[in-house]
Amino acid sequence: MKRINVIIYGRVQGILFRYNTKRLAEKLNLSGWVRNNSDGTVEAVFEGKDESVDKITKWCYKGPIGAKVEKIEKKEEKFMNEFNNFTIIY
């Protein structure tokens, strides 16, 4: 089991990035959250099976249609199993 925190830079707000991240996370049975940050980035925490976390992290480099991802900062953290589902933080 794995936990990753990602911060996604580029044109990633106002294009349903959070919504699409939530849909994919649920499909992959991941828990965690995603939010827009005030600096224009999108941040997320993913917890779940290693291969599922790797899959969604790879997807974040492209994002949904309309996204223009410039870079991603990712940090592996200690798996904590602290979330019951995947949520969008508003």
Catalytic site positions: 18, 36
Q: How many CB atoms lie within 10 A of CB 53?
A: 23
* CB-based burial, 55-72: b 16+ in 10 Å, e otherwise: bbbeebeebbeebebeeb
